[in-house]
Structures are given as C-alpha cells and as structure tokens.
Amino acid sequence: MDEKPKETHWYLLTGLIIGLLVGLIVSTMIFPAVNRYATPAQLDAVGKDIYREEIALSYVATGSLNRAIDRLMRLEQAQPSSILIAQAQRLQAAGGSQQVIDALVLLAERLTGD
C-alpha cells in the first residue's frame, strides 16, 4: 500500500500572520495616518481642555472676545462658559497654573456678561 504523506497548509497561516504583522508595523510606525482636516470638535477631552486653555490665554493677550467666541464655537459644545468654569475648577484642584485658571475664569465671565 502506498501511503501519501499528509500535506499541510501551514504556509498559508504563517503567510497571513506575517503579512498582518508587516502591515501593522508599516501602517503605525513607518507611514502613520495623519488627519490634517480634523476639527476641534473631533478632539478628545484632553485635547479640548488644551484648546480651551489656549483660547483663554489668547483672549487675555489680545482682548478679542469675538475671536475667542468663534474659536469656542468650533468645539460645538453648548454652554461654553460653564465648561470653562468647570475646567478652571478641575485645574485648580489639580494644582495647575494660576495664570491659566485666571484666563479661563476671565473668559467665562466675559461670555456670561458679568
């Protein structure tokens, strides 16, 4: 009786795994995707906090309330003044920069008209 040795197709599985690994390395480390057209509304919570801090500091430096309002509207959040106050409180509790806290509070006060 002639018995043929069993043919295995492990090369297909190993090829698939190696291909996935190479693709993952290339797409994350060598050529990562860059979204150049992201809007401020698409930022994560930390990014939005940093964006609001920069808006407040810019407002203190320039005094341009209209520009600050335009920038805050890009975040597409309702009640920006209450969000600014909440962020200032979180920053104060964490021992953050007093300059940034003051800028956030000042901008929030100007937005509410106080």
Q: Which of 68, 50, 108, 51 lies closest to 84 in space, CA to CA? A: 108
Residue-level pLDDT at 1: 56
Retrieve residue 104's tokens: 């956030």
Cβ contact 57:100 at 8 Å = yes
Cα gap 49→88, rounded to integer Å: 10
Cα gap 34→97, rounded to integer Å: 31
**pTM, entire model:** 0.68
Name the burial class of residue 104, with classes exposed (0-12), middle (13-18) and buried (19+) by CB atoms within 10 angstroms of its CB: buried
Q: Which residue positions in the chain have pLDDT lower than 50?
A: none
pLDDT above 70: percentage of residues in the chain: 96
Instruction: Please provide the size of the chain in residues.
Output: 114
| 42-68 tens-digit pLDDT | 999 999 999 999 999 999 999 999 999
